[in-house]
Amino acid sequence: MKVFVVGPWMQNSVVSYFQQWGWEIAPTLKDADLVNFNGGADISPSLYGCKPHPSTRSYKERDDYECLVYAKAKKLGKPMSGICRGGQLLNALAGGTMWQHVNNHNGDHMVKDLMTGDQFRFNSIHHQMMIPSREAITLAEAYAATKKESTDNNGLSRSLYYAQKTHNTGDAEVVIYWNNEPHLCFQAHPEFDVTGDTGKQFMRYIDEYVFERKTDHKLRA
């Protein structure tokens, strides 16, 4: 299997991760079985129709470049995966939106697989979080955030607060979109936990949900 790793951002660690799992690195999009978008700075809220939150720091040149690569990969019918920012980008371009600032996602935390009920420890470090669209299937959630903030398309603040002990926040950590080509949106960083839970589960999600298209049909109803 060959993966095209998009752009120079965090490329070395992601390339190394895929190679350690037996993947070859595709030199071009056309050669790829999978196109992967990496982590990094926040994506622009304009990609999901909102104004920036005060904490949002985006990088227009990168957004423009990756949107161009996304459009080319989509035209070629390539399956795609995204790590952290890359997952958020795929979520936004597939019709989802974002919480632009959340708390309690600044280190390892437990994630529950909604298909199997299994729990894993992920190294999910981020201050923004995906809000999947109705077309998405959320494969795994965390229950960490007690505060979520964003702004709407008029720049008006919107927020959600939770009691500290409810553990019912539904923080989307792994999301799959099945359009013409699968989009796997993965919030954590498998490249920093190659043989741990994060690294193993990212590969499992790619195998089972990108290429095998496995799911529990009850969750799609």
pLDDT in tens, 139-179: 999 876 666 777 766 655 666 554 444 444 578 999 999 87
- Tell me the CATH number for domain 2-220: 3.40.50.880
Q: Is residue 28 over pLDDT 50?
A: yes
Least confident segment among 117-131, 146-160, 205-219: 146-160
Highest mean pLDDT among 73-82, 115-124, 177-186: 73-82
Name the pLDDT band for 99 (thresholds 50, 70, 90). confident
d(CA 106, CA 85): 15
- What H or E segment, with its residue span, contains residue 98? strand 97-99
In the prediction, which pLDDT does 221 show? 37
Answer with the residue of higher pLDDT: 194 or 59: 194
Confirm if 186 and 174 have CB atoms less than 8 A apart.
yes
For residue 204, is pLDDT > 70? yes
Candidate from 122-126, 165-169, 200-204 with smallest mean pLDDT: 165-169
Residue 116 has pLDDT above 90, yes or no: yes
Every domain of the chain and the residues it spans = 2-220
Residues with Cβ within 8 Å of residue 146, at least 6 apart in sequence: 103, 104, 161, 162, 163, 164, 169
- Distance of alpha carbon 23 from alpha carbon 13, whole angstroms: 14
Which tokens belong to 150?
Answer: 């964003």
Other CB atoms within a 10 A radius of the CB of residue 36 amount to 27
Q: What pLDDT, on a 0 to 100 scale, did the predictor assign at position 167?
A: 43
Buried b (16+ CB within 10 A) or exposed e, 153-191: eeeeeeeeeeeeeeeebebbbbbbbbeebbbbbbbbbbb
**Higher pLDDT, residue 166 or 104:** 104
Per-residue pLDDT reduced to its tens digit, 40-98 = 888 888 898 877 777 778 789 999 999 999 999 999 999 999 999 999 999 999 999 88
The whole-angstrom separation of Cα 31 and Cα 33 is 7
Percentage with pLDDT > 90 across the chain:
57
Asked whether the beta carbons of 163 and 146 are under 8 A apart, the reply is: yes
* Contacting residues for 200 by C-beta, under 8 A, at least 6 apart: none
